[in-house]
A = this chain, B = another copy of it.
Amino acid sequence: MDHSRRGFLTAVGATGGAGALLATMGALGLAPTAEAAARTAFDPPRPSDFTLTGRGAKKVVVLGAGVAGLATAYELGKAGYDCTVLEALDRVGGRNWTIRGGDRITELNGSTQVARFSDGIYMNAGPARLAQWMVTMDYCRELGVPLEVFTNSNAQAYIFNESAGMTAPVAWRTAKADVYGYISELLSTATDSGALDAKLTAQDKDRLITFLRGFGSIGTKAAGFAYTGTEHRGYSVNPGAGEQPGTILGPVPSLSEVLASGVGQRFSFEFGYEQAMLMFQPAGGMDAIPKAFARAVGKDRIRLRSVVTKITDLPDGVEVEYQDKDGRTRKIKADFCVAAMPPHILAKTPHNLGPDVQAALATPTVTSSGKIGLEYRRRWWETDENIYGGITNTDLDLSVMWYPSYGYGQRRGLVIGYYNNGANQDAYAALSHPEREKRAVAQGVKIHGAKYRDELATSVSVSWRLQPHIEGAWVGWPSRTGGYQLLNKPAGHVHFAGDWLSYLIAWQAGALESARKTVTDLHTRVLTH
């Protein structure tokens, strides 16, 4: 080992000089602790911050028991702040919503669905996946929420680009084998022909072709570096016992066919910092997170079915008016308010925070998104197609189809039949639930055949634009200057928090990071005044 390493470094030194040597020694590597360093530091408020300074903890009213609001009350509560959380819905979590049998889904259009899911079946209507580096993972550890893998990608799931002329889905493994095979053939050919000599040394060329041989499973130079298929595609007859070596899936489409299919354009999804596997989910449903927060905050501090009707900043604090669960108008006075509601809902709420704040709240654009959960009488994706979790990616209006990341091997299971955004979602939102189901199933039949219709037991759909007191999936800012910056500062005694005030919009981690920032701002303010 030592010998070959020294040999390599000598060779680099000889061809590239000391600069190249140093760069090779360092630039490739990621220091072992770098990932930990990537985290945002947070120092939670502590009781001793008050007891040791003679100050008293303040009273805070938190608007919204979504993830940002709950985390705010939780962190402030650690130091003894007297927090009250007002929540318009009859549950905590906001968009973190897990639907189970018996739950009601009421939409702003007046319709109501009642979920008829079997025992043990659930649907995460909102957030459903956690990236390893996100602070959400740390809160799950701190709150004792058990985690399991969320199956964000699966070689066995499909890609289907109908508009590119595909008549049947192709497995991710097959699509990757063909794309990687052909690009390896092309790049080896170009490299060997000298076409890239301006960019590659002779040693680079050797190393590149060595890499491509394995990466693309291509032939030798004598064979023209040709891609002619590989076991990476999968098998039409599996390897087995005795005289059964297996049959690699064929035929291999041509280079032009592979490029025309557009399957390769799906790959980069898996490389994203936010989406790359491994990803995780709380066992039993995403709402384990807000439920754990609510337990830690104390349920007596959370007032459900309490709709905020007015926010008034006062010289010495803040007053919030709300309609309680019995329809009575009530008021609560506090030293501070943390408004952890969606900006477009805040923008519809009377306040005295001034026109700049109002303009800022009205600035972000609201995104449509929604899902349908299809419970099947049997897990045909597992028994018939060997798909245990993962995502099928399409250019159909269903966008993606998710196979469940829980309940493997059980009888029944829930497929997310669409998770789509924008115009695709708006088209489904405009339909009644039965019509949504019919449309989603008709599209899914293109991927999975008649069983996608025949085995369906029941379904539920959620369109976030139509959810009372939420009215949207997430928001986007035209710019991070102006309104975004303004709302990241307090308006009088009112602070704001939410994923919409972070660079992790639509992620619970954004809500949590924003809550931490707001908690730090508020606590610093209290301790320094």
Contact = CB atoms under 8 A, between A and B. Distances in A.
Contacts of A517: 240-242
A170 interface: yes
A228 interface: no
A149 B146 contact: no
B168 A30 contact: yes
Contacts of A183: 183, 187, 208, 212
Interface string A353-379: 000000000000000000000000000
B8 A241 contact: no
A109 interface: no
A169 interface: yes
A189 B190 CA distance: 10
A132 B388 contact: yes
Interface in A160-202: 162-171, 173-174, 176-177, 179-180, 183, 186-187, 189-191, 193, 195-196, 199-201
Interface residues of A, number: 152
A463 interface: no
Given A35-B171, A36-B386, A215-B264, A149 B147 contact: no
Contacts of A4: 163
A261 B27 CA distance: 10
Given A30-B158, A34-B249, A156-B278, 12 more contacts: A1-B162, A1-B397, A29-B166, A29-B170, A33-B384, A133-B156, A149-B389, A156-B276, A215-B264, A239-B503, A242-B514, A244-B503
Contact of A386 (B35, B211, B265, B516): B35
A256 interface: yes
Interface in A30-50: 30-40
15 contacts: A16-B256, A27-B252, A28-B257, A29-B167, A32-B168, A32-B449, A137-B386, A186-B199, A187-B190, A208-B259, A214-B267, A214-B268, A235-B273, A239-B504, A240-B517
A25 interface: yes
Contacts of A421: none
A67 B19 CA distance: 56
A148 interface: yes
Given A187-B186, A199-B189, A516-B241, A30 B408 contact: no
Interface string A373-415: 0000000001111111110000111000000010011000000
B503 A409 contact: no
Contacts of A162: 1, 5
A189 B179 contact: no
Given A231-B272, A386-B132, A1 B396 contact: yes
Interface centre among A12, A195, A238 (most CB of B within 10 A): A238
Contacts of A176: 271
Nearest to A246: B503
A504 to B, nearest CB: 5
Nearest to A154: B278
A59 interface: no
A214 B253 CA distance: 22
A525 B473 CA distance: 64
B32 A385 contact: yes
Contacts of A25: 165, 167
A242 B32 contact: no
A513 interface: yes
Given A30-B174, A447-B32, A272 B242 contact: no
A40 B241 CA distance: 9
Nearest to A207: B259
A388 B28 contact: no
Given A237-B38, A238-B133, A268-B215, A170 B503 contact: no
Interface in A394-449: 395-397, 405, 408-409, 447-449
A280 B408 contact: yes
A228 to B, nearest CB: 14
